[in-house]
Amino acid sequence: MNLVFLDGKLLPADQAHVSVLDRGFIFGDGVYELVPVYSRVPFRLDEHLTRLERSLGETKIRNPYTRAQWRSHVYALIDAQSFEDQGVYFQLTRGAAKRDHAFPKNLEPTVFMMSNPLTNPPSAQVEKGGSAVSALDNRWLRCDIKSISLIGNVLLRQLSAEADAVETILFRDGKLTEASSSNVFIVKQGLILSPPKNELILPGITYDVVVELARGHGLPLEMRELSESEVRGADEIWVTSSSKEVLAVVELDGQAVGAGRPGAVFRRMHQLYQDFKREVMRAGRRERISA
Ligand code: PDD
């Protein structure tokens, strides 16, 4: 039986109960993370925990655990699953209280974690790329917080799901922001481009890995505002996230992107990402064996 974590305990999902007055349920008042786990080694766990701590700070939700406690709870959850490659989801809500928008001080946050089998894009999709549609980014102005209030993202993602596409790419005021559940990169004449991190996009952990890999391997890269026409005229478009890793978008709103197949820079980055992942996993295994 695969177990979930609720408020300090591991238990079967059907025995994990949360109050109907939980502010996560009533207001979507909480934050979350999703950490990919390869062969039981979490990828970039510290970076995810740093982002979680930041989301908690920005939303004034109390963090009940130290970094060491978070790590040990995540490892215990990973070890309680029967499968190797996992997507560990965790969320904290402000806790249960009488319904009132304003929140009482010193509420006990609700901490929930579960792990599901990790589903990275199948290799056929990596080879062929996927299609995307575009939409106006009509979400709030604090998309840098990884909030569980995801109705904006949900409705935007549904547009692409109904068009059988992998993502919805978002534009605000004629500028690229991100996609409904991933960050976006483009390539123009060999130069990799992506919007800078600000309050309009989620600071993606995968985005950081791609930036580090590009810099570390001398691939030209620039973070700057990108207009809608630059995106539509790009040679390549990629989406990045913990579950999609790096995936090429070869069609946007029915129009071919560049040559209509994954480009050379994408193939290079995808390979670098896979090599880097393997290195991290090997190092992670050694760390766990010696711990
Ligand atoms: N989504 N932007 C948005 C709006 C996201 O929801 C995500 C992640 C990202 C990429 O972040 P990262 O590289 O840290 O996964 C960017 C996760 C996977 C989700 O909601 O399931």
Average pLDDT over residues 61-65: 97
Taking the C-alpha atoms of residue 158 and residue 97, their distance in angstroms, rounded to an integer, is 32
**pLDDT band for position 289 (cuts 50, 70, 90):** low
Average pLDDT over residues 87-112: 97
- Say if ligand 1 is within 6 A of residue 147 CB: no
- Say if ligand 1 is within 6 A of residue 206 CB: yes
Residue 281 has pLDDT above 90, yes or no: no
- Say if ligand 1 is within 6 A of residue 177 CB: no
**pLDDT band for position 285 (cuts 50, 70, 90):** confident
40 closest CA partner among 89, 82, 12, 2: 82
Whether residue 4 contacts residue 113, with contact meaning beta carbons closer than 8 Å, is answered with yes
Q: Assess whether 146 carries a catalytic annotation.
A: yes
Whether residue 10 contacts residue 38, with contact meaning beta carbons closer than 8 Å, is answered with no
Average pLDDT over residues 242-256: 98
Number of H helices, E strands in the chain: 8, 15
Residue 1 has pLDDT above 70, yes or no: no
Residue 33 has pLDDT above 90, yes or no: yes
- Say if ligand 1 is within 6 A of residue 209 CB: no
pLDDT at 21: 98
CA of 69 to the centre of ligand 1 (A): 24
Whether residue 175 contacts residue 226, with contact meaning beta carbons closer than 8 Å, is answered with yes
CA of 225 to the centre of ligand 1 (A): 20
Which residues of the chain form beta strands (DSSP E)? 3-6, 9-12, 30-38, 41-42, 86-93, 110-117, 130-136, 167-172, 175-179, 183-188, 191-194, 221-223, 236-241, 245-252, 255-256
CA of 3 to the centre of ligand 1 (A): 24
Q: Whose CA is nearest to atom 11 of ligand 1?
A: 204
State the catalytic residue, choosing from 146, 188, 197, 277: 146
Amino acid at position 131, single letter: S
Question: DSSP state, 172?
Answer: E
Which tens digit of pLDDT belongs to each residue from 155-212?
999 999 999 999 999 999 999 999 999 999 999 999 999 999 999 999 999 999 999 9
CA of 24 to the centre of ligand 1 (A): 19
